[in-house]
């Protein structure tokens, strides 16, 4: 299968690309290299790999790329609430308009897998299923929720609402909660945790890549649907994560009773739906 991966030089794409190539898929990456492209260099010797420098906000560029492939994985986005807060116009043009460009370029016979986020649930008391109302509380989640609606309305596609990512990637991110906690513990030898009881579900970046590949290869069974992607065994509070890290690394841990984390996500998620498709 010839697969276009938008944002393929990013945190998830850098892990997904070798997974797809090792499974004999041909991969074209469309990326503007905002964070550099060193992670892609090892693949240029692979005859199944192709790179195009461009931006998903360029509708003509997107259309020409989509015409050359069998399927599309749309990862390109300004990710996380701090980055979206810092670059709101770029976030809007990438996460919303860019997604619209991709959805409009895809034809009926081309699978489209859209990487979304559990952040779209916001702060809910009940266990979140795919039928739970979306209640985004950050600008990032608002743009991704809009992206979901665009994909569903225009292209159908498969929407994957990922749990909070963690783990090592060639294009490392230290703003993710687990990665940040580990970095603070190892480098600064101290960690301040706000709202220690807030709960999230987590997923390793390698498993994100596996889920995307699974969705491509089982598209007929999964299209026109949204799926929470993660596992119930990784529902943890912030305190749980901090304590687990301290079992490995000695550091000063302080739970702040005053002040709040700007990221107000607090939810528990069910992953029954995606487990039922294998």
Residue 257, number of CB atoms within 10 A of its CB: 8
Q: What is the pLDDT of residue 262?
A: 59
Nearest partner of 238 among 187, 166, 186, 188, judged by Cα: 166
pLDDT in the model for residue 200: 86
Query: Does residue 261 have a pLDDT over 70?
Result: no
User: Could you report the per-residue pLDDT of 244-256, keeping only the tens digit for each?
Assistant: 999 999 999 999 9
Q: What's the distance, Cα to Cα, between the start and end of the chain in Å? A: 21
Give the number of other Cβ atoms within 10 Å of residue 258's Cβ.
Answer: 5
89 vs 123, which has greater pLDDT? 89
Q: pLDDT category, 260, cuts 50, 70, 90?
A: low
Region 46-75 average pLDDT: 98
Q: Which residue has the higher pLDDT, 126 or 169?
A: 169
pLDDT at 32 over 70: yes
| Residue 257 structure tokens | 């009773």
Q: What is the mean pLDDT of residues 169-185?
A: 96
- What's the rounded mean pLDDT across residues 87-104? 96
């Amino acid at each position: 299968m010839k697969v276009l991966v938008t944002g393929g030089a990013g945190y998830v794409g850098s892990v997904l690309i070798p997974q797809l190539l090792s499974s004999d898929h041909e991969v074209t990456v469309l990326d503007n290299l905002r964070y550099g492209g060193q992670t892609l260099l090892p693949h240029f010797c692979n005859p199944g790999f192709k790179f195009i420098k461009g931006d998903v906000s360029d509708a003509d560029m997107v259309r020409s790329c989509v015409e050359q492939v069998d399927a599309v994985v749309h990862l390109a986005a300004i990710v996380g609430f701090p980055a979206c807060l810092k670059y709101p116009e770029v976030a809007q043009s990438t996460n919303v308009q860019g997604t619209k460009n991709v959805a409009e370029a895809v034809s009926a016979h081309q699978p489209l897998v859209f990487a979304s986020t559990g952040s779209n649930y916001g702060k809910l008391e009940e266990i979140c299923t795919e039928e739970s109302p979306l209640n985004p509380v950050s600008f990032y989640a608002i743009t991704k929720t809009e992206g979901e609606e665009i994909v569903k309305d225009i292209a159908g596609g498969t929407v994957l609402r990922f749990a909070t990512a963690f783990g090592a990637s060639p294009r490392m991110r230290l703003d993710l909660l687990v990665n940040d906690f580990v970095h603070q513990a190892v480098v600064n030898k101290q960690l301040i945790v706000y709202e220690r009881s807030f709960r999230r579900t987590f997923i390793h970046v390698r498993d994100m890549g596996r889920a995307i590949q699974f969705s491509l290869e089982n598209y007929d069974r999964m299209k026109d649907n949204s799926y929470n992607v993660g596992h119930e065994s990784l529902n943890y509070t912030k305190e749980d994560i901090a304590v687990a890290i301290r079992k490995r690394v000695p550091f000063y841990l302080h739970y702040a009773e005053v002040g709040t984390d700007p990221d107000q996500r607090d939810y528990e998620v069910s992953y029954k739906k995606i487990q039922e498709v294998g």
